[in-house]
Amino acid sequence: MQFSSESVEILIEQFSKLPTIGRKSAQRLAAHVLKMPKEEVSRLATALLEVKERVRECAVCGNITDTEVCIICSSAKRETEIVCVVQDAEDIVALERTGEYRGTYHVLGGVISPLDGIGPDDLNIRTLLERVAAVDSGITELILAVSPTVEGDTTALYLTQLLDPFPIKVTRLARGIPVGLTLNYADEATLSRALAGRSAVS
């Protein structure tokens, strides 16, 4: 069924393009927007535009931020000698929820996946190596916190081989995380145990 309003149909079509949003969910969202006060709709539209105009990648770690360097990298309270390598910025949010990790991060921007046409050159691997190789980096440990999937394991193995020449400890999250589960779907307790039980990568 289509609405008699072309404007509503366009809105539904745009909502339908969002992940996990089918037409019925898009219709409910559109109906909700119609009931919202105009001021709230305006704030929503402004927020959507601003997130595209202001948000950028942190110049140090690749996390999403409104400034040149994110609040984690610029914090004097973080342990800069430990770097947790994650797939996406959403994984940082998941790990920060545990309250257990006090180091810094490096966002790869995905994992190696030949079937999807994603190779090492498509990820933020070069910047990671530059961070490790920097004379004043002080990095002593890299935690490979990529998800335990085939693609994640491939990426971890690739990184381990690249990092072998450097005198740093390379660890991987403990297997308390079920195989195939992405980090942003894991609960805080599971992530805390995985961080605490991380093991050296051989």
The mean pLDDT of 40-67, rounded to a whole number, is 94
Q: How many CB atoms lie within 10 A of CB 200?
A: 9
Residue 175 confidence (pLDDT) = 61
Q: Which two tokens stand for residue 85?
A: 């390598």
pLDDT at 179 over 70: no
Res 115 pLDDT > 80? yes
Taking the domain 70-200, which CATH number applies?
A: 3.40.1360.10
What separation in angstroms does the CA of 66 have from each of 28, 56, 134? 31, 6, 25
Helix (H, G, I), strand (E, B) or coil at 180: coil
* pTM of the complete model: 0.75
Query: What is the C-alpha to C-alpha distance for residues 153 and 194, in angstroms, rounded to an integer?
Result: 16
Confidence of residue 195 (pLDDT cuts 50, 70, 90): confident
Q: Single out the residue of 85, 198, 65 nearest to residue 132, CA to CA.
A: 85
Residue 171: per-residue pLDDT: 92
DSSP letter at 113?
Answer: B
Model confidence at 1: pLDDT above 90: no
Tens-digit pLDDT profile for residues 118-128: 999 999 999 99
Integer angstrom CA distances of residue 69 from 63, 73, 136, 142: 9, 6, 18, 20
| Mean per-residue pLDDT, 8-28 | 93
- Show me where the domains of the chain are located: 6-54, 70-200
**What are the φ and ψ backbone dihedral angles of 95, each rounded to 5 degrees?**
-70, -35
User: For domain 6-54, is the CATH number 2.80.10.50?
Assistant: no
